Amino acid sequence: MEHTPPQFFHRGPAPIARLTFFALLSVFLMVLDARFRYAEPLRQVLAIVAYPLQQIATAPFTAIARSREFFSTQSALREQNTALRAQKLRDAEDLLKLQALRTENDSLRRLLAAKEQVPGEAIFAEIVYAGRDPFSRKVIIDRGAQHGVQTGQPVVDASGVLGQVTRVQPLLAEVTLIIDKDHAIPVQVVRNGLRGVAYGSGDGSTLELRHMASNAEVEAGDLLVTSGLDGLYPRGLPVAKIAKIERDSAYAFAKILGQPVAGTTQHQQVLVLAAEASAPTWSAEPDRAKKGARTKRSARKGE
Amino acid sequence: MAANPHHILQPVKVGFMTASVVAALAFNLLPWQDVRGVPDLLALVLTFWCVHQPRKMGIGIAWLLGLVMDTANGALFGQHALAYAALAYTAQGLHRRILSFPPWPQALHVLVLLLGSQLLMLAVRMLAGGTFPGVSFFVGGVIAAALWPLATFVLLAPQRRPHEVDETRPI
């Protein structure tokens, strides 16, 4: 070792060696994350580092939204108030009906010895921002593990299903939207009870009802609601409206596209529902669609 | 405003390097609702320091910052880290060549580097089964490369000497 350079010129390992090391480490982490989801603890540590920066970056936008709310004119408020009163009256009527129906439903269920659906506790949250990852469709909400959010919980807004919590950080949670390509949700056509599974179509704004026969009885404008078959989403939540149907006799299946009913704007309020308590036991062989299985598996872990 | 070969720069302050990197990270963490084609300033600043200070900024730091980006973005864990590490490696390897050009040809080099790192991310995500985000995904890289001369001007500003001629100064 007489020919080692003096310490003055020492520059550590060669760049290509460093690159190889870090590239292999990245690939290792990606495989862990994508296939086994073991990278969560490290992710949580880094999330704590990124959180203050994130808060600083989003603070001006939050402040602007808040101040705009503060400076809204009185007439606008009065208008809104009148509209809300009218809405409340209309809703009160529905609510009365609902109560009657619920008691009736309860007694009927008891008669059928069906499991009672326990309405769980819902967590109120606000969308902080849409995920910046252009390869997936996610939003970030301002409630996390500290507030009791768990992976797998369904998230809804005033008009319908928004998605599902897929990753929880201490103070934030990530919601995968129903329009994400990797998301699947079991649905039912309200008009005739036809069941199917809706996937994110991959174009970023629509859902696709796959594996429906080309003569399936679906029409444009039909409302899709959750069927509750996955034991995850409660039954009967609006999901999407059928927007377009292409029937081609050359193919066995029709191409059915739906427009989601829930919106995903910033500072929008959402509800994180409790996951269904009466989930059936996991069957021995999960022979369901592969795409949905990933999200469901993660959901099951969280329960 | 270019790195004029006759213009001797003062040594860089590590504090300024850190501040610029943190500022770029904060810019990337802004709530870009559904805006596509936002330049990745962190990648640009990393490239800049790898080219101008290859001994102070390197693959390891770039990789760590990539992990922070992945966490904040909710992207696949390691996707940005891999892309940034590769970006830092190429930028370090090419730094002498890049610095011998005037600003706009430098920007062309940087364009190739940034698009390369984006292509790497795209390849990784397509392999992992992601949605193809469309050609608009690459617009950010083009805009970031176009910002290179501006970045040179701003990030080298603290290192430039005042112009007044001092008779007692040796150089």
- Strand pairing partners for B119? none
SS3 for chain B is: CCCCCCCCCCCCCHHHHHHHHHHHHHHHCCCCCCCCCCCCHHHHHHHHHHHHCCCCCCHHHHHHHHHHHHHHHCCCCCHHHHHHHHHHHHHHHCHHHHHCCCHHHHHHHHHHHHHHHHHHHHHHHHHCCCCCCCCHHHHHHHHHHHCHHHHHHHHHHHHCCCCCCCCCCCC
Per residue in B80-118, is it b (16+ CB within 10 Å) or e — as a string?
A: bbbbbbbbbbbbbebbeebeeeeeeebbebbbebbbebb
- In this structure, the number of other CB atoms found within 10 A of the CB of residue A18 comes to 19
pLDDT of residue B34: 63
Lowest-pLDDT range of A229-243, A287-301, B54-68, B108-122: A287-301
Kindly state the percentage of chain B with pLDDT values over 70: 88
Q: Does B76 touch chain A (CB under 8 A)?
A: yes
Contact residues, chain A, for B60 at CB < 8 Å: 18, 22
Which helix (H) or strand (E) covers residue A296, if one does? helix A290-302
pLDDT for B142 equals 94
Of A22, A132, A140, the CB nearest to B63: A22
pLDDT, mean of residues A264-270? 69
Q: Please judge whether B63 and A15 are an interchain contact, meaning their C-beta atoms are less than 8 angstroms apart.
A: no
Q: What are phi and psi of A166, to 5 degrees?
A: -115, -15
Contact: B31, A129; criterion CB under 8 Å: yes
The full length of chain B comes to 171
pLDDT number for residue A297: 46
The predicted pLDDT at position A117 comes to 52
* B25: nearest CA partner in chain A: A53
Closest among A16, A200, A271, A35 to B89, alpha carbons compared: A16
CB pairs below 8 Å between A and B: how many?
Answer: 138
Mean pLDDT of chain B: 86
CB contact under 8 A, A53 and B72: yes
Which position has the higher pLDDT, B32 or A188? A188
Tokens for A77, please give them.
Answer: 């408020």
- What's the number of CA atoms in the CB half-sphere (13 Å) around residue A124? 2
pLDDT at A299: 45
Which pLDDT band holds residue A2 (cuts at 50, 70, 90)? low
Pick the range with the lowest mean pLDDT from A33-37, A166-170, B13-17, B95-99. Answer: A33-37
A266 pLDDT more than 80: no
Which of B51, B53, B64, B70 has the most A C-beta neighbours within 10 Å, making it the best mutation to test the interface with A?
A: B70
**Residue carrying the six token digits 């609006």:** A238
CB-nearest to B129 from A23, A182, A203 is: A182
Mean pLDDT over A196-222 rounds to: 85
Provide the 8-state DSSP code for A2.
Answer: T
**Residues A244, A98: Cα–Cα separation, whole Å:** 33
pLDDT at position A59 is: 81
Indicate yes or no: CB of A135 within 8 angstroms of CB of B75.
yes
Q: Decide if pLDDT at A37 tops 80.
A: no
**Residues of chain B neighbouring A58 (CB-CB closer than 8 A):** 29-31
Extract the tokens encoding A127: 């969308």
DSSP A33: I
Mean pLDDT of chain A: 80
pLDDT-based confidence at residue B136 (cuts at 50, 70, 90): confident
In the predicted structure, residue A156 carries a pLDDT above the cut 70: yes
Tell me if A32 and B128 make a contact (CB, 8 A cut-off). Answer: no
Written as six digits, the tokens of A208 are 């696709």
Percent of residues, chain A, with pLDDT higher than 90 = 9
Residue reference for tokens 């190429």 = B90
Residue B2 has pLDDT above 60, yes or no: no
pLDDT tens, position by position, A232-256: 888 888 899 998 888 887 888 888 9
Question: Cα angle at B68 between A137 and B27, to 5 degrees?
Answer: 75
Whole-angstrom distance, CA of residue B120 vs CA of residue B123: 5
Report the distance separating Cα B74 and Cα A174, nearest Å: 8
Q: Nearest to residue B59, comparing CAs of A23, A8, A49?
A: A23
In chain A, what residues touch B36 (CB-CB under 8 Å)?
Answer: 134
Confidence of residue A130 (pLDDT cuts 50, 70, 90): confident
For residue B84, pLDDT over 90 is answered with yes
* pLDDT tens-place string over residues A45-72: 887 777 888 788 878 877 887 787 777 7
Q: Does B138 touch chain A (CB under 8 A)?
A: no
Q: Which of A5-9, A36-40, B147-151 has the lowest mean pLDDT?
A: A5-9
Look at A26 and B63 and tell me if their CB atoms are within 8 Å.
Answer: yes
Structure confidence at residue B165 as a pLDDT band (50, 70, 90):
low
Residue-level pLDDT at A250: 82
Q: Check pLDDT > 50 for residue B70.
A: yes
Domains in chain A: ranges and CATH: 15-69 (no CATH), 122-279+288-303 (2.40.10.340)
pLDDT band at A282; cut points 50, 70, 90: low
Question: Which tokens in the block code for residue B70?
Answer: 């992945």
Whole-number Å distance between alpha carbons of A287 and A295: 14
- pLDDT value of residue B123: 92
| Mutation to test the B interface, candidates A10, A20, A26, A29, most B Cβ within 10 Å | A26
Per-residue confidence band for A293, with pLDDT thresholds at 50, 70 and 90: very low
The encoded tokens of residue A136 equal: 């997936």
Q: CB contact, 8 Å: B133 with chain A?
A: yes
| pLDDT greater than 60 at residue A301 | no
Compute the distance between CA of residue A264 and CA of residue A177 in angstroms, rounded to an integer.
9
Instruction: Compute the nearest-CA separation of B167 from chain A (Å).
Output: 34
Q: Whole-angstrom Cα distance, residue A178 to residue A198? A: 8
Is B43 in the A-facing interface, judged by CB distances under 8 Å? no
CA A284 to chain centre: 26
**In chain B, which residue's Cα lies nearest the Cα of A47?**
B71
pLDDT given for residue A291 in this prediction: 46
Q: How many angstroms away from the CA of A109 is the closest CA of chain B? A: 42
Q: What is the pLDDT of residue B1?
A: 42
pLDDT at residue B62 is higher than 90? yes
Q: Do B81 and A26 touch (CB under 8 A)?
A: yes
Q: What is the CA radius of gyration of chain A?
A: 24
Per-residue pLDDT of B6-56, as tens digits, reads 567 888 889 999 999 999 998 888 877 666 778 999 999 999 999 999 988
The minimum CA-CA distance between B131 and chain A, rounded to whole Å, is 5
Least confident of A2-11, A128-137, B8-17: A2-11
Rounded to 5°, angle at Cα A293 from A210 and A215: 15
B131 vs A16, A57, A135: nearest CB? A135
- Residues B89-110 pLDDT 10s: 999 999 999 999 999 999 999 9
Task: Kindly state whether B118 is in contact with chain A, defined as any CB-CB distance less than 8 angstroms.
Answer: no
The answer to whether the beta carbons of residues A128 and A57 sit under 8 Å apart is no
DSSP letter assigned to residue A87: H
Averaged pLDDT, A7-19: 80
